[in-house]
Homo-oligomer: A and B are copies of this chain.
Amino acid sequence: VATKTTRGAASVPEGYDPRDYPVFAVTVDVLVFTLVDDALHVLLVRRGAEPYAGRWAIPGGFKHPDETLDDAARRELTEETGIEAPAVLRQLGAYGDPGRDPRTNVVTVAYVAVVREVGDIVAGTDAAHAALVPVAAVLRGRVELAFDHDRIVRDALDRIRRDLEATGIATAFVGPTFTLAELRTVYEAVWDVHLDGANFRRSITAEPGWVVPTGKRATPGPAGGKPPELFKAGTSWKRGGPIRRPRRTSGRGVT
């Protein structure tokens, strides 16, 4: 079924009269999540042009006809932020309310990306107007967002919280090797809860496949402490995670 459909932008399709159906611009927006100082952040760009000039927005751009939505998300991510290979890039959903972009009919397909340590990359790209914003600030309404992007960020956060339990995105926040405390911080930051380190370790090491020991140890921080073991991610993460979200909210109350 994969016909070569590399038509130009405004060319006339073959099977349809273009006046038979309404036309839309299709954009792809990417929400980049990462951890900064043990807190969940999302990457936003400051708009230079109208409408919504000066407000924060989710990076994105037009989908090309000859690429998949996934490829478009990957391309826009690289072009706008310099990020090459996100550990996770997953579709969130489509947004197409009339008037959401006052210029024309736009349907946006939002994507969620997860990376670790995005700090340097953002600074090095031409999108110097990009910044990592704490999600807590967005939730509290402290960030002025363009279009319907406030809603999209909230939906994305909701999704990432579900996926943390249902899929293996947890290891996407950390590096190729990591300590169990680092991995635990991911859960604590995303769910805004406190998890017992002892029980966390048991849940993850109970059965093999989640984390495999590297034999190495990390060096403790300036405050001292026992050097923690370094693990790398196992293969079981493809089908979910070993940590279940606590029922009761023993969290810090940011939600």
Contacts and interface: CB of A to CB of B under 8 A. Distances in A.
Given A9-B19, A16-B103, A25-B24, A94 B94 contact: yes
Contact of A9 (B15, B21, B62, B94): B21
Interface string A74-110: 0000000000000000010111111110111101010
A65 B98 contact: yes
Contact of A99 (B4, B10, B24, B62): B4
Nearest to A14: B103
Contact of A102 (B5, B10, B100, B147): B5
A94 B69 contact: yes
Interface in A1-57: 1-7, 9-10, 13-16, 18-26, 51
Count of identical protomers in the assembly: 2
Given A94-B109, A105-B13, A166-B162, A99 B3 contact: yes
Contacts of A69: 94-97, 107
B23 A96 contact: no
Interface residues of A, number: 50
Interface of A: 1-7, 9-10, 13-16, 18-26, 51, 62-69, 91, 93-100, 102-105, 107, 109, 147-148, 162, 166
11 contacts: A1-B100, A9-B21, A22-B26, A24-B107, A26-B96, A26-B107, A69-B96, A69-B97, A69-B107, A93-B93, A166-B166
A192 to B, nearest CB: 17
A100 to B, nearest CB: 7
B162 A104 contact: no
Given A94-B94, A148-B1, A103 B23 contact: no
Nearest to A110: B94
Nearest to A8: B22
Given A5-B105, A16-B25, A24-B63, 12 more contacts: A1-B100, A1-B148, A5-B99, A9-B22, A10-B22, A13-B105, A16-B104, A24-B65, A26-B107, A63-B107, A69-B94, A69-B96
